């Protein structure tokens, strides 16, 4: 499954970084501690978070995440969207709260490390 499959199936809005929509999704990681994401997320994971701060793009690049999904209709800050656009890191927005979104992603076959 690639990011654009996920966008369609999970009804996500693409807010920036459409250039990265072809990337393969290897699994998922959810956390609002960016330090935890840097330590534990795996290359190709989608990252589910509440954070809209520009640092999320840098973290995504560092870990080579396939996409960032903001929950509960959170919108990326302008600077975040600009950076993501430049770097081709997809920022996707779900209207669902985190727990519900993660449940649906998991049901689609996007799993976390165990």
Matching residue, tokens 């979104």: 101
Nearer to other proteins, 10 or 81 (CB): 81
d(CA 33, CA 12): 22
**Interface residues with other proteins (CB under 8 A)?**
32-38, 51, 53-55, 58-59, 77
- Least Å from the CB of residue 41 to other proteins: 11
91's enclosing H/E stretch is: strand 91-93
CB 88 within 8 A of CB 3: no
Nearer to other proteins, 31 or 94 (CB): 31
d(CA 34, CA 59): 7
Nearer to other proteins, 53 or 104 (CB): 53
Longest dimension (CA), the chain: 35
Nearer to other proteins, 59 or 101 (CB): 59
- Least Å from the CB of residue 83 to other proteins: 11
- Least Å from the CB of residue 2 to other proteins: 26
């Amino acid at each position: 499954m690639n990011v654009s499959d996920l966008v369609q199936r999970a009804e996500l809005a693409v807010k920036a970084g459409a250039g990265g929509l072809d990337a393969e999704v290897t699994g998922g990681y959810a956390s609002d501690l960016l330090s935890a994401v840097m330590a534990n997320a795996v290359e190709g994971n989608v990252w589910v978070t509440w954070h809209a701060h520009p640092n999320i793009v840098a973290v995504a690049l560092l870990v080579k995440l396939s996409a960032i999904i903001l929950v509960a209709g959170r919108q990326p800050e302008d600077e975040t969207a600009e950076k993501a656009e430049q770097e081709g890191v997809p920022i996707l927005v779900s209207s669902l709260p985190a727990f519900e979104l993660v449940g649906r992603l998991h049901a689609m076959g996007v799993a976390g490390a165990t």
